[in-house]
Structure 1
């Protein structure tokens, strides 16, 4: 794949709109490492090399372990994630693949055991943000650097 365009230069207003959502996520009450796990897991599902590269670096800079980064795609089998993280990773997967089965009630309930209503909305916004970034990066041919 090759870079198709620099979407930021082609349509700065569109880029700024998504940056607004990203700012909301970054300023939310969510743990920053948890946000990076969301970004990594959605990017794995979507196959976004640019975002995987960026967010693995960001997670490492925040102190995330190599083991947890490497095993993220097998989080169900790996014992290194908390119950709250597991609930969020399940939510990330179903929202990223929302056309498969929506968001099953048991996943919603599991997330709500660990997060209040405000935080649930923040999680949904974080998942939506990275899915949007993934789709832009893949569509425009962004490459890891």
Structure 2
């Protein structure tokens, strides 16, 4: 939300609560998954173009200069977790294949996806595999 807008005034009066960055990333990742499955919808831009003037006017809300990358990382993690399920991961290694160039998205920004797998007791190992569709991790093994 930007200073000097109607929404900023509504927030000041307590009538509006902006999303946190985490809420914005989770919601946007879900929408990207829905739209990404539609053959006639192409996602062109996610988030706002970072600029000095934007950052000077920014008051609150889910802004990050790499917002799309955060959302894609969240999408990769949620897809991987669906494949893993709720099994015990204690002391195990989760090996995942990702498309070439998607290592950082699979690990997550500042390794947050790897940290989530570690929080579940396992180590995340990512291998690049040609022919994998973008944003589509493939669980290879849990050893």
TM-score by length of 1: 0.29
Higher helix fraction: Structure 1 or Structure 2?
A: 1
The structure whose Rg is larger is 2
Higher strand fraction: Structure 1 or Structure 2?
A: 2
Tell which has more relative contact order, 1 or 2 (C-alpha 8 A, sep 6+): 1
